[in-house]
């Protein structure tokens, strides 16, 4: 299954968990707010199958549900990079 991902940054509380669990997939800005790095948080490029396990760990443990996933690319208006 093809999967797209992004962080809805207004929901992120800068807890640091996703970057710890999936360092290839998430990074933080100067305020600690996360973004999804493989496609600059646009949610438009499919997640690599090799990164699926790490992504699922971060996705399921994000305390606020800020990490989003979809079987379709996210629309530009959904992107709060």
Q: Interface with ligand SF4 by CB under 6 A: which residues?
A: 7, 12-18, 34, 62-64, 66-67
Cα 38 to Cα 21, 22, 81, distances in angstroms: 15, 12, 13
Looking at beta carbons only, is 23 or 49 nearer to ligand SF4?
23
Instruction: Output the CA torsion 62→67→69→74 (10° steps).
Output: 180
3-state secondary structure of 46: coil
Looking at beta carbons only, is 7 or 47 nearer to ligand SF4?
7
Looking at beta carbons only, is 63 or 76 nearer to ligand SF4?
63
Instruction: State the minimum distance, in angstroms, from the CB of residue 62 to ligand SF4.
Output: 3
């Amino acid at each position: 299954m093809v999967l797209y991902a992004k962080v809805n940054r207004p929901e992120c509380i800068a807890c640091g968990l996703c970057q710890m669990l999936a360092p290839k997939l998430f990074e933080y800005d100067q305020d600690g707010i996360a973004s999804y790095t493989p496609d600059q948080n646009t949610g438009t490029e499919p997640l690599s199958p090799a990164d699926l396990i790490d992504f699922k760990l971060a996705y399921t443990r994000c305390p606020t549900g800020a990490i989003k996933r979809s079987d379709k690319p996210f629309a530009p208006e959904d992107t709060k990079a």
